Amino acid sequence: MALEPGQYTRREPGSASASLLYPADVFCAKTDGSFYDTERACGRDVSVRVRRICAKRTRHNFGDDTFLTLRNRYAGLSGPAPHALDGKPDLSGIWNGSPDSTPEGASAMPWAATLQKQRIGNNLKELPSAYCLPGEVFPNAPLPYKIVQTPSLVVQLFEGGFRQVFLDGRGHPQDPDPTWRGHSIGRWEGDTLVIDTVGFNDKAWLPAFLPHTEQLHVVERYHRPDLAHLNIDVSIEDPGTFTKPWQLHMVWTLAPGEEIGEFICENNKYFGDTRAK
């Protein structure tokens, strides 16, 4: 994948490919697509925030990255998908999240594509998470997520936040108060949990640093084919931003021995270094 100046990527060991991710989970990438392999080299040509993250991560091998460590730790898990007492597939557990490894390009309108380039060009100085604001519209980062499932409610927990998905038959509010993560309701289609979310504000960033409007509508389809895997298909619709829906596909892996840690943004002082002066 060719990189433009200001883009930051991660790669897996032995892989020449890379996918554009949130800068909170990056490896040091040069703008020509190659990767820094020393802390000193990592300090060049990247923003302060990314430079500090890269310096921290490049003291270890690529395989020591938390995402890869968790995936490798539980690589031997196998078995059938469990079911809840109501007969539905049980999605509960700690999951090692992962973004789409080969995302399709979004059909962004000119204003959105221009803003995306501006964000990349200014080293993501206005990234919401740099100001301790929510960093995801929907769970899609290489971070641990915890799912708690009941017949009427699914709760997703992650460092710094949570999301409720109502399964009790209610609809969306007629006049929702726009929020960072919107209002989510769910239903079962066979063995697949379908999560429908609307009511977003226009402040959060989509994957690949794309903007959106309050017309954003996200539909996620969660399917657990076996014990260790969770397949998630996402359709992102926004007639104010895209000319057609943007489809993403993720595969999460079970990490049963892990737990969600406390995350207090104020303790992560390096976030502040990206703020516009």
Give this prediction's pTM: 0.76
Query: Does residue 212 carry a pLDDT above 90?
Result: yes
Is pLDDT of 49 > 50? no
Percent of the chain whose pLDDT exceeds 70:
73
Q: What is the pLDDT of residue 58?
A: 37
- What per-residue confidence (pLDDT) applies to 233? 98
Lowest mean pLDDT among 3-12, 80-89, 130-139, 175-184: 3-12
Residue spans of alpha helices (H) in the chain = 39-42, 48-57, 66-73, 110-121
> Is the predicted pLDDT of residue 221 greater than 60, yes or no?
yes
Q: Which residue in this structure is represented by tokens 């992560």?
A: 268
Q: Which residues contact 175 (CB under 8 A, 6 or more apart)?
A: none
**Residue 159: burial class (beta carbons within 10 Å; 0-12, 13-18, 19+):** middle
What is the distance between the terminal CA atoms of the chain, rounded to a whole angstrom? Answer: 32
Torsion-angle region of 3 (φ positive above 0: left; ψ -120 to 50: alpha; else: beta): beta
pLDDT confidence of residue 55? 37
Q: Which two tokens stand for residue 50?
A: 């990314």
pLDDT at 32 over 70: no
For residue range 231-275, list pLDDT tens digits in order: 999 999 999 999 999 999 999 999 999 999 888 887 555 444 444
The winner for highest mean pLDDT among 10-19, 58-67, 161-170 is 161-170
In contact, 145 and 158? CB cutoff 8 Å: yes
Comparing C-alpha atoms, which of 176, 81, 180 is closest to residue 132? Answer: 180
pLDDT given for residue 132 in this prediction: 87
Residue 129 has pLDDT above 70, yes or no: yes
Mean pLDDT score across all residues of the chain: 79
151-160, 174-183, 186-195, 267-276 — which is least confidently predicted?
267-276
pLDDT of residue 33: 35
Task: Tell me how far the alpha carbon of residue 143 is from its chain's centroid.
Answer: 8
